[in-house]
Every structure is written in C-alpha cells, then in structure tokens.
C-alpha cells in the first residue's frame, strides 16, 4: 500500500477536514495541451491512444506536470464497455464516436455479453496499473465509467444524438427490453470499476452524461435506478483504504435530493446549478464537486480569479467541496488560464477551512 503524499481530494470527498479545497478538471488530459496533441498524433488515432497503456499513462501524467492538481484521472473513454460487448467502436473526425453494430433488435439486447475487465478490457487495467506506479503516491488516481443509461444512449443511437429518438423510443415502446439492457450494463459497469479499483484506482466516478435529457420519472426509472445498482455492487474499500465514489449527471440539478440518496460519497454539479443552493438541498449527505462554466476560462485572468472566489464563497466554510468545472474543458483553451484557476482555488480556499 502506497501512502498518498496529497490525499486532500479523498478527504474532501469523505467530508473530512482539509487545509484547502482540492481541484482537478474534467478532461484535464486533453487537446488543450500541445503535448497531448503531439502524443495523439504519434498514436495515429484517438482509439489507439486509449488502447495503448504506455501512451494513456503519458497523457494522464501531462497535466500534473503543468498544474498543481490534487488528482489524476485515468485517460480512457466512456465507450470502452460497449466496444468490449462487440458493438465495434470507431471515431469519425468531426462526428465523434460511432458504433458499426448498434443495438437494433431485441435479439441484439439478449446476446449482449458482460465483458471480463481483465480480458476484453485488459488494456484499461494495464493503464491503471502503470499510471498508479508512475504517480508514486503523489496524488490519488480516479477511475471512471459511463453510466448504464449514458452507455445505452450511444449503443441504441449508434453514436451521438440531439433528439435521442431511438433510445427514448425503446424505453417508451419496449421498457422491459430496455431494463434487460440496462441491467446488463449495470453489472458490466460495476465489474469494470471494481477491476479498476483492484488495479489501483483510489476513487471512481460515474459519468451520467445524458441523464439530463430524461423526464423526472424516466430519470428515476432508467438512469438513477441503475446508478444505485452500480453503487450497491462497488467495492467501498481496498487495501484497508476507503474508495469514494462520485456521481455526475449533466443536467441533473433538478434531482439532487434523489441523487444524494443513491449511496455515492459525492455529486458532481454542472454550471447551471447554484452551489450554495445545492449544498443547502443535500445537507451533509454528500460532498459536492464543481462547478465553474468551462467557457469562463476564456475570460481574463483577473476575472477567472473572481469567479473562483465566487464559487468558493458559494459553497462556504468546511470540507466537502472539490473544485472542478461544470463539464469538460474545451479543446482550444489557453493552458495558462487553467493555471490561474488552479492556483486561485488553492490560494483563496484556505480561509474556508480554518478551524
């Protein structure tokens, strides 16, 4: 067992006292960094980059060399599980992910396997092991997966969608079939995250990117229910250390109270949710992560600092806040603006943690 040199992130997730608010950033390893673009070019394709443990490790480490982040996040993609189920993932330039064998029939659903993470997804586990070794206990490593609902949207739509007509058609016309698929996905996601924990992930995060496109009733039935199922199957500790779990539903601000009862240690907030009101709504049940609008990083450095101060003030005193963006960083962002944000979080948050 490696003792963490900086465990602020984990302590904040567990609502334990910290000296300053921890900060990391969704998509912190990505196209806004010139060194990432160089490795991506070397890999030849995004999928090659994801499936090469050495290159995935390298791009995971890149932002930590530039910025004082309090966590590393595994470089991978949320669609690894459907690809391992045989849907044949590819990425088309300018169009995003596509599946050559999307879910189209009831038979397609019934024949979906539950992948073995150490076989079909071994490249991810090898990346986790290598990253954990390379970090040498400097900061915690976050593992992640797409949520069952979010994975289902891509699997049924065959890629990205604006209307979600096909997957919504499935849950309305054949809800029993949708539940069979989502149950398989929940089992697959839990096995995948547990394998990441065994390989070295110290925190896990469930990205429910498309939960917010559902009605309140449908969110409860087709998204949150399966997020709860995943949580009930997850390891909560490893090597004698707690393994916190984060749930992030983009557009989920309406349902924070229900999400807080799902068993996760922390909830991610998008930028449309007021963090002060969110804290009042969830009380002490969960920690909160968020939630600067990613576009605000285009602002001038002084304005970025003021926005950081506003969000820190909005959360208020005490532990349980992890500073982050409300979604992933945009690809053409100036890295220097990221440094301004990270440094401001550390500098101006200390006053909120004085006993």
* Residue 28 annotated as lining a ligand binding site: yes
Q: At 72, which helix (H) or strand (E)?
A: strand 72-73
* Residues 167-196: tens digit of each pLDDT: 999 999 999 999 999 999 999 999 999 999
Above pLDDT 90, what percent of the chain? Answer: 97
pLDDT at site 93: 74
* 77 labeled part of a ligand binding site: yes
Q: What is the pTM of this model?
A: 0.97
Residue 2 maps to a domain? no
Of these residues, 7, 11, 27, 279, which one is catalytic?
27
Whether residue 249 is annotated as binding a ligand: the answer is no
Q: How confident is the model at residue 2 (pLDDT cuts 50, 70, 90)?
A: low
Concerning whether 154 is annotated as a catalytic residue, the answer is yes
Q: What is the mean pLDDT of residues 240-250?
A: 97
Identify the helix (H) or strand (E) that includes residue 206: strand 203-208
285 is in an annotated binding site: no
**Does the pLDDT of residue 340 top 70, yes or no?**
yes
Residue 204 three-state SS: strand
- 276 by Cβ neighbours in 10 Å (0-12 / 13-18 / 19+) ranks as middle
Instruction: Let me know if 31 is a catalytic residue.
Output: yes
**The domain spanning residue 66 has which CATH number?**
3.20.20.210
Confidence (pLDDT) at 3: 85
The mean per-residue pLDDT over the stretch 219-224 comes to 98
Give tens-digit pLDDT for 12-24: 999 999 999 999 9
Q: What is residue 167's predicted lDDT score, i.e. its pLDDT?
A: 98
| Mean pLDDT across 249-272 | 98
Supply the pLDDT for residue 184. Answer: 98
Q: Which pLDDT belongs to residue 1?
A: 52
- Which run of H or E residues covers position 89? strand 89-92
- The phi and psi torsions of 176 (rounded to 5 degrees) equal -65, -40
Does the annotation mark 77 as catalytic?
yes
- Residue 322, pLDDT > 60, answer yes
> Is residue 298 marked as binding?
no
Q: Which of 7, 11, 70, 77 is catalytic?
A: 77
Mean pLDDT of 50-65: 98
The mean per-residue pLDDT over the stretch 86-94 comes to: 88
Q: Tokens for 255, please give them.
A: 């349902």
CA distance 239 to 320: 24
- 31 assigned binding-site residue: yes
The single residue of 11, 32, 36, 40 carrying the catalytic annotation is 40
> For residue 315, what pLDDT band results from cuts at 50, 70 and 90?
very high
Q: Are strands 241-242 and 96-99 parallel, antiparallel or unpaired?
A: unpaired
pLDDT category at 75 given cuts 50, 70, 90 is very high
90, 102 contact by CB (below 8 A): no
pLDDT of 102-155, one tens digit each?
A: 999 999 999 999 999 999 999 999 999 999 999 999 999 999 999 999 999 999
What confidence category does residue 350 fall into, taking pLDDT thresholds of 50, 70 and 90? very high
The residue-averaged pLDDT of 298-313 equals 98
Specify whether the CB–CB gap between 8 and 306 falls below 8 A: no
Residue 84 included in any domain: yes
What local confidence, expressed as pLDDT, does residue 352 receive?
98
Instruction: Report the pLDDT value the prediction gives residue 287, as an integer from 0 to 100.
Output: 98
What would the mean pLDDT of 262-266 be, rounded to a whole number?
98
Q: How far is CA 14 from CA 32, 205, 286, 334, in A?
A: 31, 14, 8, 32
Mean pLDDT of 276-294: 97
Query: Please, are residues 87 and 151 in contact by the beta-carbon 8 Å criterion?
Result: no
User: Is 3 inside a domain boundary?
Assistant: no
Q: Is 209 annotated as a binding residue?
A: yes
Q: Can you give the pLDDT at residue 96? A: 85
If one counts the domains in the chain, the total is 1
* Catalytic residue of the set 32, 36, 154, 348: 154
pLDDT band at 293 (very low <50, low <70, confident <90, very high): very high
Asked if the structure places residue 148 within a domain, the reply is yes
* SS3 state at 242: strand
Tell me the residue range of the domain where 75 lies.
8-353
């Amino acid at each position: 067992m490696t003792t963490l040199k900086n465990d602020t992130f984990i302590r904040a997730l567990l609502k334990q006292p910290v000296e300053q608010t921890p900060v990391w950033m969704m998509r912190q390893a990505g196209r806004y960094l010139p060194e990432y673009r160089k490795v991506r070019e070397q890999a030849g394709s995004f999928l090659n980059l994801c499936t090469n443990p050495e290159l995935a490790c390298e791009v995971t480490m890149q932002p930590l060399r530039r910025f004082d982040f309090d966590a590393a996040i595994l470089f991978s993609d949320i669609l690894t599980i459907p690809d391992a189920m045989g849907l044949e993932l590819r990425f088309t330039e300018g169009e995003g992910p596509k599946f050559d064998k999307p879910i189209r029939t009831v038979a397609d659903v019934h024949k979906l396997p539950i992948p073995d993470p150490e076989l079909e997804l071994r490249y991810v586990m090898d990346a986790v092991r290598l990253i954990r070794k390379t970090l040498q206990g400097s900061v915690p490593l976050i593992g992640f997966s797409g949520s069952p609902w979010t994975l289902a949207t891509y699997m049924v739509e065959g890629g990205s969608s604006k209307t979600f007509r096909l997957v919504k058609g499935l849950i309305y016309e054949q809800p029993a079939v949708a539940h069979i698929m989502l149950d398989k996905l929940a089992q697959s996601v839990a096995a995948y995250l547990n394998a990441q924990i065994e390989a070295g992930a110290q925190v896990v995060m469930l990205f429910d990117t498309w939960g917010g496109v559902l009605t309140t009733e449908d969110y409860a039935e087709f998204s949150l229910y399966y997020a709860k199922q995943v949580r009930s199957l997850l390891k909560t500790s490893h090597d004698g250390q707690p393994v916190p779990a984060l749930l992030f539903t983009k557009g989920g601000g309406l349902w924070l109270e229900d999400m807080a009862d799902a068993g996760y240690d922390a909830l991610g907030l998008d930028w449309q949710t007021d963090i002060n009101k969110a804290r009042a709504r969830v009380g002490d049940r969960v920690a909160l992560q968020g939630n600067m609008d990613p576009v605000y990083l285009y602002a001038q450095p002084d304005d970025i600092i003021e926005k950081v101060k506003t969000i820190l003030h909005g959360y208020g005193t005490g532990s349980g806040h992890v500073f982050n963006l409300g979604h992933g960083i945009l690809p053409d962002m100036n890295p220097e603006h990221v440094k301004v944000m990270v440094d401001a979080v550390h500098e101006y948050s200390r006053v909120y943690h004085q006993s």
